Every structure is written in structure tokens, then in C-alpha cells.
Amino acid sequence: MVGQNVISRDQDILGGTPVFVGTRVPVRTLLDYLEGGQSLQEFLDDFPTVQREQAITVLEHLKHILLTQPV
């Protein structure tokens, strides 16, 4: 999954909200779960259409942005 696009934006899907490719699950939902103290596994259990590799790729991408962008 690494190197493949795992986030999709389409005006016809949730008005262009970024979602995991092939799902209607907003990426923000993963971040909300983690912010609320829930685990990645809890998120994956609640949203079985999202693959673990997709979630990890998104988190790695966000980590890269955070660590390489000037503050």
C-alpha cells in the first residue's frame, strides 16, 4: 500500500471530505479516534472497510508532513 494513494477527495462523496480510498470513512475520523484515546485497532474494528495498511500509510504521511514542514 505504501506509495499508493490512500486518500480520496470527490465532491460526490461527503462533499469532498478526504476519505480513505474505496470507503466513505473520513480520514478525520481516524484522527478523532486517536485524539480521544482510542486505539488504531478500535478504529479498524469500528470501520472494517478501512485496511490497516491504509490507516498506517495516512499516519506515516501526516508524520512526514509534521516533521518536515517549518513551524
Distance of CA 57 to the CA centre of its chain: 8
Tally of domains in the chain: 1
Note whether residue 61 is domain-resident. Answer: yes
Containing domain of residue 54, as a range? 7-68
Closest by Cα among 7, 10, 12 to 29: 7
Q: Which pLDDT does position 4 carry in this prediction?
A: 61
Q: 13: which strand partners?
A: 10
Q: What is the pLDDT along the chain (71 residues), one digit of tens a residue?
A: 444 689 999 999 999 999 999 999 999 999 999 999 999 999 999 999 999 999 999 999 999 999 998 87
The pLDDT assigned to 71 comes to: 77
Query: Is 29 in a helix, a strand, or coil?
Result: helix
2 occurs within a structural domain: no
The domain spanning residue 21 has which CATH number?
1.10.10.10
For 4, 41, 43, 50, 52, the CA distances from 47, given in Å and listed in that order, are 20, 10, 6, 6, 10
pTM: 0.86
Residue 44 domain-assigned (yes or no)? yes
Q: Is there a domain that residue 30 lies in?
A: yes
Is residue 1, in this structure, part of any structural domain at all? no
